[in-house]
Amino acid sequence: MIEKLRQMVEEAKQKMDRAASLADAEGLRVKYLGKKGELTEILRSMGSLPPEERKTLGQAANTARSQLEQLLNENMERFRQMEKAAELSAETIDVTEPGQVIPIGAKHLLTITTDEIIRVFSGMGFSVSEGPEVETVFNNFDALNSPPNHPSRDMTDTFYISEDVLLRTQTSPVQVRTLLSQKPPIKVIAPGRCFRCDTPDATHSPMFQQVEGLAVDEGITMSDLKGVLDRFAKSLFGSSEKTRFRPHHFPFTEPSAEMDVSCFKCGGKGCRFCKGSGWIEIMGCGMVHPNVLKVGGVDTERYTGFAFGMGVERIALLKYEVDDIRLIYENDARFIRQFK
Amino acid sequence: MLVPIRWLKSYTDMDVSLEVFCERMVMSGSNIETVEVFGEEIEGVVVGKILKIEPHPNADRLLVAQVDVGGGEPIQICTGAMNIFEGAFVPVALDGSRVPGPLHGKEKVEGGEIIRAGELRGLVSNGMMCNCTELGFSDKVVPIKHRDGIWILDGEFVPGTDIIQALELDEAVVDFEITPNRPDCLSMVGMAREAAAVFGTALRYPETDCSKVSAEQTGDHIRVAVDNQDLCRRFTGRVVKDIRIAQSPWWLQHRLISAGMRPINNIVDITNYVMLEYGQPIHAYDLRHIRGGEIRVDTATEGEIFTTLDGQERSLTTDMLMIRDAEGPIGIAGVMGGLDSEIRDDTSVIFVEAANFSGDSVRATSKKLGLRTEASSRFEKGLDPNLAAQACDRVCYLIEMLEAGTVLSGSVDLYPEPANPKTHEIRISRMSHVLGVDLTGEQIEGYLNALEMKTERLEDRIRVMPPTVRMDLVEEVDYVEEVARMYGYDRLPLTLPRSHVESVRTANQMIRETAKNTLMGLGVNEIQTYSFVSPKTVEKIGLSPEDPARRFVTLLNPLGEDTSVMRTMLLPNMLEVLSRNMARSIEGMRAYELGNTFWVGDDPQAQLPTEKDVLCAALYGEQESFFTLKGILTELLSVLGIEGSDFVAETGNAAYHPGRCANIVYRGAVIGTLGQIHPTVAEAYDLTQTVYAADLSFHALYSLVDMDKKYEPLPKYPAMKRDFAMVVEEQVQVGDLEKEIKAHAGDLLEAVKLFDIYRGNQVAKGSKSVAFSLTYRAKDRTLKEAEVNEINTRVLVALKEAHHAVLREM
């Protein structure tokens, strides 16, 4: 009997070696350990044996049972793992198939550029102010110290609605509005649309956008103007860029200047992009003319101020290397989405 | 303003390289547009003397010349130019030489062209005789007689002399950008004054004293009266007799050419030269044609006809200032002289006029006549009347020097109110106060003196007397600028304002930013379009004749009809953009514009129109529908805290499909409209795909926005869901069903969600099955089946009563 048990275990091992699946293993479990299994049958038949024999055989049968159980457990676990692996393998996907994009929208290049400019000046304490696109001649010219016969007032340069009302040619009238409505200290920037009688081409647009800036307080100097705008240029174009301030003329500032940034294409050596000068003109600026401050009732002995104005399109074209201003107002989706 | 450097150096002895000159001029306020160094592209071109000319044996239109180019044997050159003659001196480009070009019939090549010896119809040609343009002179300034054919040089030269040396062609010309406040710099003397101040050199004024003046008096030949002194501040002139019209010497021609003017003859050239020197326009009349020997300066009579130098007949008006003789007009003051009194080859006595006319008057006249001249643009910008006599004397000096005439004694000079030098007092402390650097009185005086201003120290002030040409200096701040630019903007330190002001943004600015960010997240791209549009847009979009959006703010001087009025809505521009994108085969697009519209009549007292922000969103593409756009708007309004608006079907909006349009109603007011673009409008805009669009009165939202977020505790007790489907007639709107559900479900209803609409075989024709999922939840306890069932039954009963909704087996 004991020999039979040994053979049974041996046979089970051999059969298990040939088993190929969890079902085969389960079949072996039933064959040996099931209700009518071979080992079960032996155990059942033990009742009729004499006690001595029964004890010996019982020990052998228990050993055989634990051997069989171990064999079955180990192999069934092995088959389970294999089957799981096969199942997962069948679920394989092609990871190179494209993702399902939920496309984000893109802001317009001018919004992006304006926001960048606002961000830099906000960091230096400037608030954002606004004014209307349809303006008075007074706010756009007279109050800004523009001579009555200045050519920029001509109908060949400026769009008029009536004798006294026009489409603003610059965001500078916001300076006037700010000076009339606020008391120093003042620090504002004013982004907005402006209009001039230019036929559209690669570098001109009859509508364009500017960001104006104005700071008025006690003790504001031209050195402060340089400091603020230098910081702006470095923040927008890169900290290694240099700035240069050249004397210029605007009716509403004195002293007036134009700010150049060292050419970011050639690093200031001179190239086609900067027309060989090594510098790129970025904006006009200067100390607010006392005549402008007086319009706002500001005490020009106590307060001084600086102002500046830059073209957003110009900055956008330079920074993003766009070569035609018309693209900006064409709104081709393929253009807009490049700046998402 | 073109400034030839060698010419400039005749007034001041600055000794710096061209680079340093340009750099320091720019940094002191004379900005530079371009720098051109003439002669850089000329190499190996010499003066040749033509010894012999013979016809080409093999070609009728060619000549064969033997040319002495110095050193040994003459060389043979074949040419097609017929203006050459034996004994002529000409520029010769030798074999291997370089000329700037362009060569005949070709485009200009950067770096110039190399000339090689070659063969022309079987004969050797060892170089090229050059014309002016081949040597780099612009056609616009080349003397007329040199324009065609080989350039025949005036005077004698040693054959073989380098052409650059022979004619001093190596001239640098700097083009300065002159700002409108500095008309004094539109002159060589003015620029020399700037250069002298920058480089600390002395300024030499041009010679003006004639030495061989005739005893005859100018006054014996001409009498002048000025009737309108407001418009003519000064009128001065001299008579010169024995005029010998000839070609100017090369140095004079060369300077004019370099400064961008074409040489004509000695008298005209001298007047132009002096105009460039002083900025003062000069006019020379043939005295024969000043009838009665008298000149009268007065305004024109209405409708008077006058023929100007350019041969054009001009019709005059009463505000135009004229120069007249005893019988009629001979010139339009400050604009252009007359054809009749022009200098001719046989002119023998001239009257040289240098006057000072009102800039405003000249501007108005020139604008009215559409005639802008070198003279008119100079008067417009403003001229110092003291220049007139100096310039007139300088013309006479040069005529005498060039032996072109005999200058008469004296002059006529009507100058009743001479412009005397002004004085201003400036505070030393103010300079530092504005600039942010400490400057001493001595420093300030030094800078001003360098600019030819006289100064006098008065304790803490300086009294300044600028030269009268500096008409831009009128108050203290003007001197701040002078001091700053002479000190050097680049020497000012970089500082930051000491004041601390907080950066604030208005609520509306933040609302717009939130809206833009939300739309970005929802995949909608921002566009920006012109604020001005065509008035026809309202027709295309189908607005009714009485729609207030037809009341446009209209431009007086638009560029064209399509940009002639200010927009009252954004939709037309949006449709144009989408149409353009469709035309470019872009499959789909979601776009919005948040911008201004312009309205008149809102406030009749207002000088300016009301500007209102509007949001227009639109989309097209395979996945898009009315409901994708509705979803975008719903989410946007939700982010802005505007919850619970109704979408009410709208059939009367001509821009939209009558069955696919809704007004967005919030608290009883329409805040926007959305829908499918009406097929007629779509056709008008060439929309080849279905477009869904919406416009929101964004300006009306500002007061409704509530972006204050407060935490609401997360639910502690489980929710209970009830799903059901009902069959209703097609015309029943699901929005009404939802309202009915909300009205009867009570406070325990947490959410109601429409999850399916079915039309088809399973329901009767003309009906639809609508499936809702209702979520019930109490904040403080777990709900009981029974109470939820009871509520749900109540809801179903209400739906049946109100909308004949029949519960469908699920």
Region B702-715 average pLDDT: 91
Taking the C-alpha atoms of residue B620 and residue B600, their distance in angstroms, rounded to an integer, is: 33
B422: Cβ–Cβ under 8 A, 6 or more apart, which residues? B465, B466, B468, B473, B474
Cβ–Cβ below 8 Å for A161 and B556:
yes
Cβ–Cβ below 8 Å for B434 and A245:
no
Query: Do A279 and A262 touch, CB atoms closer than 8 A?
Result: yes
**C-alpha B612 chain-centroid distance:** 29
- What is the model's pLDDT at position B94? 92
What number does CATH give the domain B507-701?
3.30.930.10
Determine the residue of chain B that is closest to A199 in CA distance: B559
The DSSP 8-state label assigned to residue B348 in this structure reads -
Nearest to B437 among A128, A223, A337 (CB): A223
Provide, as residue numbers in chain B, all residues whose Cβ is less than 8 Å from the Cβ of A151. Answer: 180
What number does CATH give the domain B43-167?
2.40.50.140
Tell which of A254, A269, A274, A292 to mutate to test the B interface (max B CBs under 10 Å). Answer: A254
Give the distance from residue B359's alpha carbon to the nearest chain A alpha carbon, in angstroms. Answer: 9
Tell which of A102, A120, A133 to mutate to test the B interface (max B CBs under 10 Å). Answer: A133
Determine the residue of chain A that is closest to B577 in CA distance: A331
Provide, as residue numbers in chain A, all residues whose Cβ is less than 8 Å from the Cβ of B437. Answer: 223
Region B418-428 average pLDDT: 95
Provide, as residue numbers in chain B, all residues whose Cβ is less than 8 Å from the Cβ of A161. Answer: 553-556
Provide, as residue numbers in chain A, all residues whose Cβ is less than 8 Å from the Cβ of B478. Answer: 254
Tell which of B608, B615, B702 to mutate to test the A interface (max A CBs under 10 Å). Answer: B608
Provide, as residue numbers in chain B, all residues whose Cβ is less than 8 Å from the Cβ of A255. Answer: 434-435, 480-481, 484-485, 489
Structure confidence at residue A256 as a pLDDT band (50, 70, 90):
very high
Tokens describing residue B502: 């907080």
Could you report the per-residue pLDDT of B80-96, keeping only the tens digit for each? 888 999 999 999 999 99
Structure confidence at residue B635 as a pLDDT band (50, 70, 90):
very high
Pick the CATH number of B424-488 from 3.40.630.30, 3.30.1280.10, 1.10.3720.10, 3.30.56.10: 3.30.56.10
Residue B792's SS3 state is: helix
Helices (H), chain A: 2-18, 22-33, 38-45, 51-90, 109-123, 137-140, 173-181, 222-237, 290-295, 312-320, 326-330, 333-336
Judged by average pLDDT, the poorest of A328-332, B33-37, B486-490 is B33-37
* The three-state (H, E, C) secondary structure of B531-561, written as one string: CEECCCHHHHCCCCCCCHHHCCCECCCCCCH
Tell which of B526, B562, B623 to mutate to test the A interface (max A CBs under 10 Å). Answer: B526
> Which of B50, B55, B54, B53 is closest to B88 using CA atoms?
B50
Q: What is the pTM of this model?
A: 0.87
Query: Do A72 and A28 touch, CB atoms closer than 8 A?
Result: yes
| Strands A253-262 vs A243-250: parallel, antiparallel or unpaired | antiparallel
Amino acid of residue A100: Q
Provide, as residue numbers in chain A, all residues whose Cβ is less than 8 Å from the Cβ of B532. Answer: 159, 167, 195, 206-207
Could you state, in order of their start, the residue ranges of all structural domains in chain B? 2-38+172-199, 43-167, 214-414, 424-488, 507-701, 720-808
Query: Within 10 Å of residue B100's Cβ, how many Cβ atoms?
Result: 23
Amino acid of residue B558: P
Nearest to A110 among B434, B528, B532 (CB): B528
Query: Do B587 and A103 touch, CB atoms closer than 8 A?
Result: no
Mean pLDDT of chain B: 93
- What is the model's pLDDT at position A106? 96
Cβ–Cβ below 8 Å for A185 and B360:
no
Cβ–Cβ below 8 Å for B525 and A337:
yes
CA distances for A178 relative to A119, A125, A157, A173, A297, angstroms: 20, 16, 25, 9, 11
Could you report the per-residue pLDDT of B207-224, keeping only the tens digit for each? 999 999 999 999 999 999
Q: How many CB pairs under 8 A join A and B?
A: 234
Cβ–Cβ below 8 Å for B501 and A230:
no
Nearest to B553 among A134, A329, A333 (CB): A134
Could you report the per-residue pLDDT of B357-398, keeping only the tens digit for each? 999 999 999 999 999 999 999 999 999 999 999 999 999 999
- What is the model's pLDDT at position A309? 96
- What is the model's pLDDT at position A248? 96
Nearest to B179 among A110, A249, A340 (CB): A249
| Residues across chain A | 340
- What is the model's pLDDT at position B810? 58
Could you report the per-residue pLDDT of B444-466, keeping only the tens digit for each? 999 999 999 999 999 899 999 99
Taking the C-alpha atoms of residue B229 and residue B211, their distance in angstroms, rounded to an integer, is: 33
Nearest to A165 among B477, B529, B608 (CB): B608
Give the distance from residue B772's alpha carbon to the nearest chain A alpha carbon, in angstroms. Answer: 27
Could you report the per-residue pLDDT of B644-702, keeping only the tens digit for each? 899 999 999 999 999 999 999 999 999 999 999 999 999 999 999 999 999 999 999 99
A59 pLDDT above the threshold of 90: no
Region B770-776 average pLDDT: 95
What number does CATH give the domain B720-808?
3.30.70.380
- What is the model's pLDDT at position B119? 87
Nearest to B477 among A125, A135, A289 (CB): A289
ipTM metric = 0.88
CATH fold of A109-339 reads BirA Bifunctional Protein; domain 2 (3.30.930)
Nearest to A199 among B29, B179, B559 (CB): B559
Residue B254's SS3 state is: helix
Asked if domains B2-38+172-199 and B424-488 share a fold, the reply is: yes
Provide, as residue numbers in chain A, all residues whose Cβ is less than 8 Å from the Cβ of B178. Answer: none
Structure confidence at residue A41 as a pLDDT band (50, 70, 90):
confident
Tokens describing residue B724: 């059901």
B266 pLDDT above the threshold of 70: yes
For B141, phi then psi, to 5°, come to: -120, -5
Provide, as residue numbers in chain A, all residues whose Cβ is less than 8 Å from the Cβ of B562. Answer: none
Give the distance from residue B373's alpha carbon to the nearest chain A alpha carbon, in angstroms. Answer: 16
- What is the model's pLDDT at position B146? 82
CATH 3.65.10.10 fits B2-38+172-199, yes or no: no
Cβ–Cβ below 8 Å for B180 and A161:
no
Could you report the per-residue pLDDT of B316-347, keeping only the tens digit for each? 999 999 999 999 999 999 999 888 888 888 99
- What is the model's pLDDT at position A269? 83
What would be the CATH architecture of the domain defined by B214-414?
3-Layer(bba) Sandwich (3.50)
